[in-house]
Structure 1
Amino acid sequence: MSILLISGSPAVPSTSGRLLQHIGDKLASAGHFVSRLNVRDLPAQALVEADCNHGAVRAALAAVAEAQAVVVATPVYKASFSGVLKTFLDLLPQNGLAGKVVLPLATGGSQSHLLALDYALRPVLQALEAERVLAGLFATAQQVRWDEHAGVQLAPEIAARVTAGVTALAHALDVAPRRQPGPRAPVRSLQDYPYATQAA
């Protein structure tokens, strides 16, 4: 199945980007076809002006349209998801997530930001007519640590939720109608998407 990872963080590296990367690796290891898009790397002027004819924006929207599932990751700022992600989601057509399974991820400074997933991001994903929005996964920076040698290190409770989220996404894809069957392969080369870059 084709799965697009969308990083909505304005910073690289970022905690949300690393969590997204970790989940993408797990999905790829399970045989899913995974590609990545960093919204922050799209031209700012084209995003702000909603210029869907710009080549970079057009390629990003095409990547969303082609995916059978989407994993969206964002940091939480002021009880909501990032502005750059909101700007990109606003460019999708009203049914831009129709027929797709979506797994939302968020990271924040404390557990007090947890509800941003359900009260800020989920309604937008549902408004875009996602077939199914899975239970979101929230983690703090302390629960997603980076080690230069070992890579992403997750707190046990987050590791368990990641496993549950990956399993739920894989199951949802297994039972979903086969709309665009494609080859199963490791993580897709970023050169295949000229305007996509790897999540930090």
Structure 2
Amino acid sequence: MAVIVSVSGSPSATSRTARLLRCLDDRLRLQGHDVISLDVRTLPAEALLGADLRHPAIADATALFERAHGVVIGTPIYKSAYSGLLKSLLDLLPQYALIDKIVLPLATGGSTAHALAIDYALRPVLSSMGAAHIVPGWFTLDTDIIVDDDGALTVAPTAVEALAHVTDHFSTALGGRTTVPEPAG
């Protein structure tokens, strides 16, 4: 199956965006894909902000994009745009780092007023980086993502359905199955 890089552009260690992405990563794994998670916040800040392309962590991140067939980009929306942390990474990648890649853009935010940020802020950048196909993305309200005191994630049923649909569409575009095997027993 396909190799997928799942990128969280959230600067927060307790990010709802990253937690949501990891749930989608699990779904993609169950569909037979090899998913590699990348939390941009774990990259060395000095190398990221100093544009140190020779730093081993930046070189490793670039290599992940090179070997991927598909990329999931998840970001919180701040001031009607994707995160500055995500922009820092995208700026360091080669101009056509997404050439021949299938891309799924996802975003989270506090208001539906930010929903269009996927199409007006993120999609043009992904397109300019050569993405072969950017599948329809999804915006999830922060209020639809609940993390309890134990760290367990609960997502509102309507958001779960929509996220399953866009994830399955992405999987199909990659040539994968969209059915998740039933648990044994």
- 1:135 counterpart residue number: 136
- 1:34 counterpart residue number: 35
Change (3 A) 1:149 1:50: closer
CA–CA separation in structure 2 for the residues paired with 1:165 and 1:146: 22
- 1:23 counterpart residue number: 24
- 1:164 counterpart residue number: 165
CA–CA separation in structure 2 for the residues paired with 1:38 and 1:53: 19
Q: Which amino acid aligns with 1:95?
A: Y
Structure-1-length-normalised TM-score: 0.84
- Which structure exhibits the higher relative contact order, with contacts defined as CA atoms closer than 8 Å and separated by 6 or more residues? 1
SS in 2 for 1:52: coil
Q: Which amino acid aligns with 1:44?
A: A
Is residue 87 from structure 1 mapped to residue 91 from structure 2 by the alignment?
no
In structure 1, stretches of 5+ residues that fail to align are 176-200
Identity of aligned residues (%): 43
Q: Which moved more, 1:34-43 or 1:144-153?
A: 144-153
Shift of 1:152: 2.1
Shift of 1:147: 3.4
SS in 2 for 1:174: coil
CA–CA separation in structure 2 for the residues paired with 1:67 and 1:8: 17
Q: Which moved more, 1:91-100 or 1:142-151?
A: 142-151
Post-superposition Cα deviations, 1:85-119, rounded to whole Å, max 9, x if no partner, equal: 00100111111100100101110011111111110
- 1:178 counterpart residue number: none
Post-superposition Cα deviations, 1:130-167, rounded to whole Å, max 9, x if no partner, equal: 01111111111111112356932111221111111121
SS in 2 for 1:36: strand
CA–CA separation in structure 2 for the residues paired with 1:55 and 1:76: 29
Aligned CA RMSD, in angstroms, stands at: 1.4
- 1:124 counterpart residue number: 125
CA–CA separation in structure 2 for the residues paired with 1:156 and 1:37: 26
Q: How does 1:71-82 map to 2 (within 5 A)?
A: 71-82=72-83
Shift of 1:12: 1.2
